[in-house]
Amino acid sequence: MPVLSRGVVRGQVPQPAAAAPCAAAAPLQVAGTAHVAAPPARPCVAPAPVTPQLAWGAPGEVHSLPSRRTPIQVGGELSTSYPRISQATTPPLSDWQRLAQSGWPVGQTTRVPQVEAKSFRTARDPSVPAQEALRLLKEGNARYTSGQSTRAACAEQLTALAEHGQNPMAVVLGCADSRCPVETMLDAGPGDIFVLRNAGNTCPSGEDSIVGSVEFATGALGTKLLVVMGHTKCGAIKGATQLAVAAPGSKNKACACALDRHLEALVPAAKEAATELGAGASVEAVAAAATRANVLITIRALLENSDKVRDLARSGGLELHGAVYHIESGRVEFIGQHPRIADLLAPSLLIRTARDPS
């Protein structure tokens, strides 16, 4: 059978050499190093197929041949970069061919990289301060845009979350647009972010499903950061903009559906943007400005329609920030808190009338 070396890659397989006595199998784990050796020459008798056992994740779990980035466990050492073959097996030639063709360092010794121990945040841990959570979200987006995402769920993390409960560092109200996956763009894993999404990242008339979910996350779970995130090229905002600039009387209220009613709730943001830009602004320009206006309107709606959210923000136990996701680049632009946050959190003035007691 042919013997592969590192130079045999990209589908090139040498011609079979003359049969030779079987040589001793090369050791695959030596003094802390994992050695991927070429299979020894054997007589021209086809051996029985042997399935290589490659383990990954928790000890004792055995899976099929992993991809390059799959974590695997060999000899008590965890590798996240290189697949290793257990000492007890020698794979058939087809598997070695597959390794060589994919560019693996067949015939070379490579040290298994060390893996740092990870801790998982659960309900047993303190809540993450708002500014620390904001820093972590920004760092996650930086990893995402630079192609260096690191977060992936593992059995230990899932077990910890199931047994000890969730402790998300942030609530994110984002758009339901399929191009805007919140956890992905922020390089976040399970248990990191409490995500709410709808078309246009809005909270029309204090919608209970949104307000109630925010109250649960910020109250029962103790999350201290809430981010309302819009995005560029939002279809819902563009639809609302078209309604806002449409000629009066052109709308057919009798045919209004749920989507039309939902878009109507986004029209105030479009009208505000159109007023700021002035006459002659294109629908695209108004929609782009309306995206930011809508983020601020949603923050205001959450504060106005929830005493619990407003009290938490007033006491310093919650911060509400705006953000815009740029789908063209993957970058999240954090635009800070509402410019009128102090007014929104100010106690309402009580007006005493004759109906009130003396």
Binding site, annotated residues for Zn(2+): 175, 177, 231, 234
* Rounded Cα distance, 235 and 233, in Å: 6
Q: Which two tokens stand for residue 273?
A: 């943007």
Angle, helices 283-304/235-245, rounded to nearest 10 degrees:
100
Q: Which two tokens stand for residue 241?
A: 């903009």
Please name every residue paired with 18 in a beta bridge, in sequence order, or none if there are none.
Answer: none
Note the helical H segments in 190-264: 208-215, 235-245, 258-264
CA dihedral angle for residue 112, residue 152, residue 329, residue 282, rounded to 10 degrees: 180
CA dihedral angle for residue 142, residue 144, residue 150, residue 154, rounded to 10 degrees: 130
Q: Which residues are annotated as a binding site?
A: 175, 177, 231, 234
Q: Which two tokens stand for residue 288?
A: 């782009």
Q: Which residue has the tokens 């909270």?
A: 203
Residue 216 Cα distances to 2, 146, 164, 230, 304, angstroms: 64, 34, 17, 22, 17
* Rounded Cα distance, 130 and 73, in Å: 37
